[in-house]
Amino acid sequence: MQSPVHPIDYRYGTPEMKRIWSEESKIKRMIRVEIALLKALSKAGYFEMDFKEIKRKTLKIKPEDVKAIEDVIKHDIMALVKAISNQLSEAEARWVHFGATSNDIIDTATATQLRDTVKIFELKLRKLALLLSERADEFKEVVCLGRTHGQAALPTTYGFRFAIWAAEITRHYLRLQQLKERLLVGQLSGAVGTQAAFGDKGFEIEEEVMRLLNLKPAIISSQILPRDIYCEYVEFLANLSATLEKIATNLRVLQRAEVAELSEKFEKKQVGSSTMPHKRNPIDSENICGLARIVRGFVEPQHQSSILWEERDLTNSSAERITLVESTILADHILTKTIKVISNLSLNEEAIRRNLEAQKGLNLSEAVMVALTLKGVSRQEAHEILREAAMKAYESGEEFLAVLRKDDRIRKYLSEDELESLLKPENYLGTAVRRVESVIEWINSVFKNS
């Protein structure tokens, strides 16, 4: 037996998602589409059959059976049709694949894969959004140093950070709800989309097949579904992967040794480095970042797969065997890993406070500037006064408060007590806590009936 080649086979992906996109699952789903077509034909008056017996017979078909036929005839769907027909009587086999073309079966079977995939994504997005929301509530008053451009900025709270991420994940959940209406569609349209083989019963047969498979018929299709549908799906995965990488990147930054405000769970026997025994590397967050880039890389080839000649050509087929499967499995993998990371994340409040106090009040220069402006100084003049004071503090290494005390332009308007109060981080959070609470309330309203 040949050893696995692709890391998805042995390293990445969850069992539940890999089952949906496995070759065995694909073949079973295509068989279900063919059986649904037989049922629809029977209902339309073409013939009568014992479908329990047909189902029992077709359950025997294995991927290797279909592959063996394909090796001879060089056509995957006709190999499937022959494999099904080989299990049936002549009378039953007569109607297999009647009126259908290959992509009626392929695209509709893919729609069932996407249907089941969406259910998994919905559950996991909900779980992550609510988990982040819980963390936002837990840490909404944990004051920390905000950073812009990697430099010290105003204070914020850890809950505020988690609330931003929670809201973003919730928006992805809502996007998926909107996307489902366009994504979960199949087709039974024949060679060029006109359903010619079914005569005037085309709509009736297609609608019955989709009803049996819990799908909707496409509004219109040629020989294949228009690929803008798949493009939108892969774009959704790319957008989701960007959010997951954004979260993981920030977790990595905040785990750096000189910051040390957060830490991923590190197992008792876990090894961080083959040569440095002390290492506790953020490997899960790094894994999320690396694979998120691969997911986004599928956007362009999927877009190229929507540009087909007339009613269709075959350039999309080989690409989509990779783009749809790998983007889905890897996106699910990093979503699952993000849930794991957030679930086991630890905050080091001592380090958080240390990093905040290390700024010696400099990061609250805006608070003093605003106070001066409210006292009657022009905003631009107040900005220049505080800029000069900040530069002196940088150069001298003094506490910012000490520098401010020496500036007559500031002491003219602000007392010692006022300055001390202005330089307390917890006094300059604005609506941070209330905004976190409003996000939590919104998220709870989104998921209350789901």
Catalytic residue annotation: 149, 273
Q: What whole-number distance in Å separates Cα of residue 402 and Cα of residue 415? A: 13
What are the residues whose beta carbons fall under 8 Å from the beta carbon of 75, sequence distance 6 or more? 102
- Which helix (H) or strand (E) covers residue 152, if one does? strand 151-157
* Phi, psi of 5, deg, nearest 5: -110, -45
Q: What whole-number distance in Å separates Cα of residue 326 and Cα of residue 424? A: 50
Assigned token pair, 2: 């040949």
From the list 311, 310, 308, the residue with the least C-alpha distance to 320 is 308
Assigned token pair, 149: 């451009």
Q: What whole-number distance in Å separates Cα of residue 287 and Cα of residue 245? A: 9
How many CB atoms neighbour CB 309 within 10 A? 8
What are the residues whose beta carbons fall under 8 Å from the beta carbon of 276, sequence distance 6 or more? none
Annotate 430-445 with b (16+ C-beta within 10 A) or e (fewer): eebeebbbebbeebee
Q: What whole-number distance in Å separates Cα of residue 423 and Cα of residue 414? A: 12
8 A C-beta contact, residue 174 and residue 368 = no
CA–CA distances in Å: residue 24 to residues 36, 53, 74, 323, 404:
18, 21, 19, 18, 72
Q: What whole-number distance in Å separates Cα of residue 382 and Cα of residue 147? A: 22
How many CB atoms neighbour CB 17 within 10 A? 25
Assigned token pair, 442: 């919104």
Q: What whole-number distance in Å separates Cα of residue 279 and Cα of residue 274? A: 9
CA–CA distances in Å: residue 217 to residues 164, 220, 255, 406:
38, 8, 49, 76
Sign (positive/negative) of CA torsion 133, 135, 138, 143? negative
Sign (positive/negative) of CA torsion 17, 130, 284, 319? positive
Q: What whole-number distance in Å separates Cα of residue 70 and Cα of residue 229? A: 29
